Amino acid sequence: MSNKQVATFGGGCFWCTEGAFKQLIGVESVVSGYAGGHVSEPTYEQVCGGDTGHAEVVQINFDDNLISYRELLEVLFAIHDPTELNRQGNDIGPQYRSVIFYHNPEQLEQAEKILKEMSADQLFEKPIVTEITAINNWYPAELHHENYFERNPEQPYCAAVIAPKLAKFRATFAAKLKS
């Protein structure tokens, strides 16, 4: 019997995070979108302006019997730098912030626990700046953003930034990937 759950994470450009999460066993769908802002139905251009309050996020539908929320959190922290405030590499602005939007008290507890563990273990040289906040809104991105890397692997950003990140991801999480 399946145990369907939803997770929403921001870890920089949603093209990068979508490409990683959709490869995991137990992940049923990954949709790029926007969350955490104060503008209804924001567009990509509005969010890129940096003043809507939204982050670029992925919303992940997963079967908790096949992959746990904790495992998804571990992937999130492996594919982005949680110590960069309002940026990931050359992508700069609050829309690229590191953020966990929790959907229930159990997700909040697990997110707080993993941040505490990573800080105690000093896994990063700089302090972790990842926000943990309740999901208050979520809007799917425009359709041309969905499966972006898959459809545009030769696009310069995809080739230079996403492809190497996904190669490292596949090597690290090989046992958890769909065949």
Q: Is 13 known to be catalytic? A: yes
- For residues 147 and 16, is the Cβ–Cβ distance under 8 A? no
Whole-number Å distance between alpha carbons of 87 and 36: 16
Instruction: Residues 4-176: name the CATH superfamily.
Output: Peptide methionine sulphoxide reductase MsrA (3.30.1060.10)
Question: What is the average pLDDT value for the chain, to the nearest integer?
Answer: 95
Each residue's pLDDT tens digit, 64-94:
999 999 999 999 999 999 999 999 988 999 9
Task: Quote the pLDDT of residue 123.
Answer: 85
Active-site annotation holder among 13, 16, 48, 158: 13
In the predicted structure, residue 1 carries a pLDDT above the cut 80: no
Can you read off the two tokens belonging to residue 165?
Answer: 């990140």
Domain ranges across the chain: 4-176
Strand partners, 23: none
